[in-house]
Structure 1
């Protein structure tokens, strides 16, 4: 008797959702002077790492929200770049 393949929709979608939420928080906080930098950098790093893990789970077939993981990682990268750019221009 043939084995049934594992279901693609498991409860492993939390990392992709976390990446999206952290990316949104990071981008919003990246444009707040001074205090936003302390929130945007950790949230951006979390978004990039969680997006990477979420995309890996989507490729493995254990998650179904690879799009959200990639968008969250991209938003986290944009936030980190924005914070770096504003820091570099303000320290001149």
Structure 2
């Protein structure tokens, strides 16, 4: 009996994976005062953008990793907030 191939296309989960990995990277480096400004902000922006793209692909049925894409976007937003708090704490004026 010959094997039949599936006609369903493979899911495009790469953007969701990227969002999660870069979001974790951004969240870790967000707590370092100087490195957080230089490394974590671009990484967090990439994580948020990839997370939104990944969520759009999930909504269209092209991807299957909703949790990873959402987690990457949330980690990116959280990293941006932490960088802002660290920046205010280290560069704030004392009145």
Give me the TM-score of the superposition, normalised by structure 2. 0.84
How many Å apart are 1:37 and its aligned residue? 2.1
Contact 2:15–2:54 (8 Å) recurs in 1 = yes
Tell me whether 1:26 sits opposite 2:26 in the alignment: yes
Q: Secondary structure at the match of 2:10?
A: coil
Whether the 8 Å contact between 2:33 and 2:86 is mirrored in structure 1 is no
Unaligned runs of 5+ in 2: 1-6
Question: Residue 17 of structure 1 aligns with which residue?
Answer: 17
CA separation in 2, counterparts of 1:26 and 1:39? 7
Which runs of no fewer than 5 residues in structure 1 stay unpaired?
1-5
2:71 & 2:24 partners in 1: Cα distance?
Answer: 9
Q: CA RMSD in A?
A: 1.4
* Equivalent residue runs for 1:67-86 within 5 Å: 67-86=67-86
Following the alignment from structure 2 to structure 1, what is the Cα–Cα distance between the partners of residues 74 and 42? 15
Deviation above 6 Å: which 4+ runs of structure 1?
none
- TM-score (ref. length: structure 1): 0.86
1:1-92 alignment, distance < 5 Å: 7=8, 10-92=10-92
